[in-house]
Structure 1
């Protein structure tokens, strides 16, 4: 594996690491809950000089619910509040002194409240955040050192949790909107490619029907001794063919209204040398099997797939060497286009890019298959199979 492929592999591994998934892992909640519980025990032991069963139970109620705050957010807040109240009245030693709870209990309560704020709607979250801030202000002002500035500082904590929850909600909404827009763009690209395929198929079928009409019209003059019944049959065939051509033009009129029709002849694999020369980079072409005449739809689609693959290589891996393999099998035309560039940066490259969507549409329209992704030795690999029967 060359240095470019190694760098591409490292880049894919780094891109595959999702920080959000790590932060949202239940294991992280369990670890934080256990750490908060141990810190609460340490602070309670230092404050009291000893730990009793009631103190341990109260500390657990105040901190361990953090481990399930994502799955049961309301229950976690309720249990944390019960544990905090129990600690406030633990043997009457710290009754009325809310600052004796310690930071682990505060952190557990705030994180649980933040989860509730994220779960409910925006208005409800701001209402709960405002009510919690007002309650904290009054409680600290009464039970604390009777300083408004300190009370405001503590009141700002639940308000900050509500604000963070709102920001997280907004980011999620923006991310979902981007996904919806991306899906819409992909669908538009697929529809545009289907329209292009339909126009090409129209040209192929129209040519064949035109041949039928011409042959049906000339047959009575080339077949000696043809009776009136035979002449009428050929006349009906010609009329049906002309009517079919008219209906096809009407059906394809909508497709041609959005995009001007192509006046150049439809390309095929015979024009691959010209396409490779236009690419400008190093391209290896390998043809396997005996070259034979292909159905016109397969011939056009194979050319378009190779053309789009070369365009992708030119855009995303400039200067990379491209190898094209075309295999003529008994009932299938197999295509394999690979480059030695850095490869895709995403985990699912086959889902992105209008060019890949178009290639997939062409293959599936013929009843074939398509695959795209990182190559076995780096780079990018495109494979397709087009049935020829």
Structure 2
């Protein structure tokens, strides 16, 4: 591997590193805390001439809280300040005896506090701390105001760095929100395009079916009354399908109004309309006391009954259909059966999932039931015909 390839590989590895993740790693905090503690032990012992248990405790209080400064920033600052006060006591109030490790730990803990609170609060806390450093030094060591100014400048720098970091975080968040808005806008545009294409192709065809079905009794002669009723039912079904499609297109469209998007979906209260439009004999039996159902259950139950009736009409025209809705304490059981020839006798596949040849009706019904945590079965009836059963949890 030549030098250029090696440099390129190193550059890619460096670019893949997430420095922010490394900087904010708890392991790094632990390493820094232990390093500051050992440095404080060495410096404090050299200044005092001895260390002992109290000196070790002071060094630990002043530096080891750095390990938890991100989780408990205010407690870390308080413990660091306590350790610094103990160190001052051991040094007989000599503020210059505080070690660099203790100062560094205090500044790091202060930085974490500045990052935790709001911008206004951080500058208020920083201003109060700077004033305390200057006034305390003026009262105790008026001849060393250079030390006070250095400490004040360090606190101001820490507060400024925290503010810069906060601003960068806010900018990144704003950029992320903007990107999310752009993605949502693009998705809305794509949904609008799909809605337009569906409207131009599918909705137009359904409208044509409805118009021609309504016009058939007037354009075709010698139609029997059952044929006229059949055309009327086709027109009604086409109009209702067109209405539902327009509601779905309203949801897809980016400029769809709230009224269109929030239009209620059909539920079991419209099952009787399905039975009257079926065109054959349909028995509807309600077992138990009817009660309001969760919307997802209500819509899924209606769609299952609707699809079962459509399959019965397609594969067993003229057959008698019985619908049973059984309301159990925590379950709704749906049973739709017909007395037709059944899938095997009708030449359809024996696999229930393939009973609606070329379509996805039974698959869709099964998916609706399973999505709600229920069960579904579709099979030849015990006495012929076809039987669809589903159980939908209501709680």
Is 1:136–2:139 an aligned residue pair? no
Matching residue within 149, 152, 156 for 1:152: 149
Q: 1:148 deviation in Å?
A: 3.2
Contact 1:36 1:108 (C-alpha < 8 Å) held by counterparts: yes
Do the aligned partners of residues 100 and 256 (structure 1) sit closer, same or farther apart at CA in structure 2, a change above 3 Å counting?
Answer: closer
Which ranges in structure 1 are unaligned for 5 or more consecutive residues? 1-5, 259-329, 333-389
Contact kept? 1:88, 1:101, Cα under 8 Å: yes
Q: SS in structure 1 opposite 2:71?
A: coil
**1:32 and 1:161 mapped to 2: Cα distance?**
17
Q: How far apart, CA to CA, are the structure 2 residues paired with 1:130 and 1:55? A: 31
Q: Deviations over 1:154-189 (max 9, x none)?
A: 211222222222222222122212211211111111
Whether the aligned pair in 2 keeps the contact of 1:97 and 1:143 (CA below 8 Å) is no
Gap runs ≥5 in structure 2: 1-5, 256-356, 360-395
Q: Deviations over 1:83-108 (max 9, x none)?
A: 11111111xxx223211111100000
For residue 121 of structure 1, the aligned residue among 115, 118, 121 is: 118
Structure number with bigger Rg: 2
Equivalent-residue separation in structure 1 for 2:218 and 2:192 (angstroms): 40
Partner of residue 193, structure 1: 190
| 2:174 alignment partner in structure 1 | 177
User: 1:316-342 deviations in whole A, cap 9, x for unaligned?
Assistant: xxxxxxxxxxxxxx999xxxxxxxxxx
How far has the Cα of 1:138 moved from its partner?
2.1
Q: 2:210 touches 2:234 (CA, 8 Å); kept in 1?
A: yes
CA shift in 2, pair 1:8/1:52, >3 Å: closer
Query: Could you tell me which residue of structure 1 aligns to residue 224 of structure 2?
Result: 227
Secondary structure of 2:33's partner?
A: helix
Match of 1:52 in 2: 52
CA–CA separation in structure 1 for the residues paired with 2:220 and 2:11: 71
Name the CA distance, whole Å, in 2 between partners of 1:43 and 1:249. 78
User: For 1:95, what is the secondary structure of its paired residue?
Assistant: coil
Match of 1:34, SS state, is helix
CA RMSD of aligned residues (A): 3.8
1:144 CA drift (Å): 3.9
Show the counterpart of 1:88.
88
Shift of the 201–83 alpha-carbon distance from structure 1 to 2, 3 Å rule, reads same
Query: Matches of residues 339-350 of structure 1 in structure 2 within 5 Å?
Result: none
- By how many angstroms is 1:120 displaced? 1.4
